Every structure is written in C-alpha cells, then in structure tokens.
C-alpha cells in the first residue's frame, strides 16, 4: 500500500511503502488522521480528486513581527498608570484646620485669669491723689469736692492751670484760653478702681477725666504735641535765628561804636559834646 504524507512546510509529498495486505494500516489511512501539521492520505483519496491537486492542510499561523518601538510603547502603556480622577470639590472634601477644643478652652481660661489679675491690681493699688482733666472754665474746687466726696473723704482740691491766665481773679465764662486741670487729695488712700468710678461724670457740661498721673491727661498730651511741632517748625527756627542775629550784630556795633545810637538804619547821630555842639 502506498501512503502519501502532505505537509504544509514543503509542497512535496512522501511515498511510504508498506505491506499491501495489512487491514490495520488501511483503516488508519481511511481515518484521515492529522498528525503534527501533516496528513497521511491513501492513493484512492488522491484519485478521487479530479483536479489532481491536493489542498494543503493549514498549519499553525505565524505571528506577525512586531517592531521594537511598538513593543516598547505598548510596554510603557501597560506599566504607566494614570492617577485616579480627583473627586468634585465641595465643602465636605475641603481641608479645614481643626482646632483642639482643649487648647481653645485653655486660651480662654488664660484670658479670664489675666483679666482677673488686672482687676485685682486695680483694686489693690492704693492712691491718695488723682488728677482731673477736661474741666469747664467756670468750675470751682467746691464742685469737684462735692463729686469726689461720693467715693472717699477729700482733704484738698486744687485748681491748676497749664496756660492762659495763671491766677484768675474770678471764673470767666468767656475765657476759653485758660487750660485748667485739678488735683484731688484724699485723707485715706483708696483703691484706684473705686476712684475711677467718678470718671466721665458730667460737671457743668464737661465730662471729667480722672488719671493717676498728670501726664496722662489730654491737656498735657496736647501741650506736648504743640511744643514738639514748634521745635520742628522750620519757619519758627528761621525767625528765631534772624532775631538772634540782629541782637548779636547790635551788641557788636555797640561795643565798637559806643556813641552810635541808630544801629539798625546805619546812619545814627553821635552824642553831643559838653558845649551842646555836634563834633
């Protein structure tokens, strides 16, 4: 019996010779078994094909060759992962600075303690003299004595003056140039916290300003600011230098020319002689 092996690797065929009376081999040939990409066909099967051509059996398909650049790009796409999309912005996802409730309570407690300390210092600070500002021009010592007697026993009240008439004979309603302030002395030292209750009391249309130091009064602060402005005023300095210059020049001429009287004009007359005649 003749066997024909058709392989898709080569277009040729191979003829095998074997025993003609072997029924087992014939049965195997008729089964058209396919082994390893090749097929064993009998001569009868070949004769049945009228065209005389044998259709090759399809073997395993070859994989297409992939360029190295394409392969590298594909590998990078697989390894590189995009970050997940960010969630929508809303108030729930917004970052908020969380404060420790215990720390907030501690800070509030420290503030309360500091305030209590200030109150204790004010209550324990004992003074026997205070200064009163923002006085009305017609205010008298009896008016202030009546006001401060409500908080403690007053020993002496003195009306003082920063400017204007230093020693006014009588209160003048029209006199607004006098800057007045007062000092109030107590027989027994009292706490400043108690005395400051008088602060803001209305006396003849003016609210009193009570301070421990006279430099804290608005009158002193205003006077200090005005004096500082005068010192830094260039026009005032220029005038002062001019006046001093004239005085110095006059003294020099008086020493050099004792008989020269009219110094400023430069054409003064000399003093007469004993006979009454001019030299």
Q: How many domains does the chain have?
A: 3
Residue 115 covered by a domain: no
Range of the domain at 20: 2-48
Q: Are residues 254 and 170 in the same domain?
A: no
Q: Are residues 219 and 191 in the same domain?
A: yes
- One DSSP character per residue, the chain reads -EEEEEESS-S-EEEEE--TT-HHHHHHHHTT-EETTEEEEEHHHHHH-TT---PPPP-PPPPPP--HHHHHHHHHHHH--PPPPPPPP-TTTS--PPPPHHHHHHHHHHHHHHHHHHHHHHHH-EEEEEEEES--TT--HHHHHHHHTTTS-EEEEEEEEEES-SS-SS--TT--S-EEEEEEEEEEEEEHHHHGGGTT-EETTEE-EEESSGGGSHHHHHHHHHHHHHHH-HHHHHHHHHHHHHHHHHHHHHHH-TT---TTTS-PPPPP-TTS---
Residue 88 covered by a domain: no
Residue located via tokens 């005005």:
226
- Residue 163 — φ and ψ, nearest 5°? -165, 165
Q: Are residues 190 and 250 in the same domain?
A: no
Q: Are residues 263 and 196 in the same domain?
A: no
Instruction: Give the integer Cα–Cα distance in Å for 38 and 257.
Output: 151
Residue 248 covered by a domain: yes
Residue 92 covered by a domain: no
Whole-number CA gyration radius for the chain:
62
Residue 78 covered by a domain: no
Query: CATH number for the domain including 132?
Result: 3.30.70.330
Q: Are residues 220 and 239 in the same domain?
A: no
Could you give the count of Cα atoms lying within 13 Å of 167 in the half-sphere of its Cβ? Answer: 0
Residue 107 covered by a domain: no
50: exposed, middle or buried (Cβ count in 10 Å: 0-12, 13-18, 19+)? exposed
Q: Is pTM, for the whole model, over 0.85?
A: no
pLDDT value of position 170: 53
Q: Are residues 157 and 241 in the same domain?
A: no
Instruction: Give the integer Cα–Cα distance in Å for 236 and 247.
Output: 17
Please, which residues bridge with residue 35 across strands?
38
Q: Each residue's pLDDT tens digit in the chain (279 positions)?
A: 444 444 444 444 444 445 554 555 555 555 544 444 455 555 566 556 544 554 555 555 555 555 566 565 666 555 556 777 776 666 555 565 666 777 777 778 888 777 776 666 555 567 788 888 888 888 888 899 999 888 888 888 888 877 655 444 455 555 555 678 888 998 887 777 778 888 888 888 888 888 888 878 877 777 777 777 766 655 655 666 667 777 777 677 666 655 544 444 444 444 444 444 444
Angle 258-259-263 from CA coordinates, rounded to 5°: 80
Residue 201 covered by a domain: yes
Q: Are residues 266 and 218 in the same domain?
A: no
Residue 161 covered by a domain: yes
Q: Are residues 160 and 193 in the same domain?
A: yes
Q: Are residues 128 and 208 in the same domain?
A: yes
């Amino acid at each position: 019996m003749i066997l024909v092996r058709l392989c898709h690797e080569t277009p040729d065929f191979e003829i095998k010779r074997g025993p003609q009376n072997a029924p087992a081999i014939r049965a195997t040939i008729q089964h058209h078994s396919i082994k390893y990409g090749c097929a064993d066909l009998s001569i009868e099967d070949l004769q049945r094909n009228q065209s005389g051509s044998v259709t090759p059996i399809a073997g395993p398909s070859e994989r297409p060759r992939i360029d190295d650049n394409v392969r590298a790009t594909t590998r990078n796409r697989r390894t590189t992962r995009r970050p997940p999309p960010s969630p929508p912005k809303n108030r729930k996802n917004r970052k908020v600075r969380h404060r420790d409730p215990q720390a907030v309570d501690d800070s509030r407690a420290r503030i309360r303690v500091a305030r209590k300390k200030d109150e204790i210092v004010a209550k324990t600070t004992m003074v026997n003299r205070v200064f009163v500002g923002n006085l009305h021009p017609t205010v008298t010592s009896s008016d202030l004595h009546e006001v401060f007697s409500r908080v403690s026993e007053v020993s002496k009240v003195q009306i003082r003056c920063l400017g204007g008439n230093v020693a006014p004979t009588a209160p003048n309603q029209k006199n607004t140039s006098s800057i007045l302030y007062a000092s109030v002395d107590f027989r027994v030292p009292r706490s400043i916290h108690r005395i400051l209750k008088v602060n803001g009391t209305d006396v003849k249309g003016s609210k009193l300003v009570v301070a421990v130091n006279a430099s804290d009064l608005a009158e002193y602060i205003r006077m200090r600011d005005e004096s500082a402005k005068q010192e830094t005023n260039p026009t005032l300095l220029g005038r002062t230098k001019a006046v001093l210059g004239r005085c110095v020049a006059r003294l020099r001429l008086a020493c050099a020319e004792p008989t020269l009287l009219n110094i400023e004009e430069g054409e003064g007359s000399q003093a007469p002689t004993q006979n009454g005649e001019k030299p």
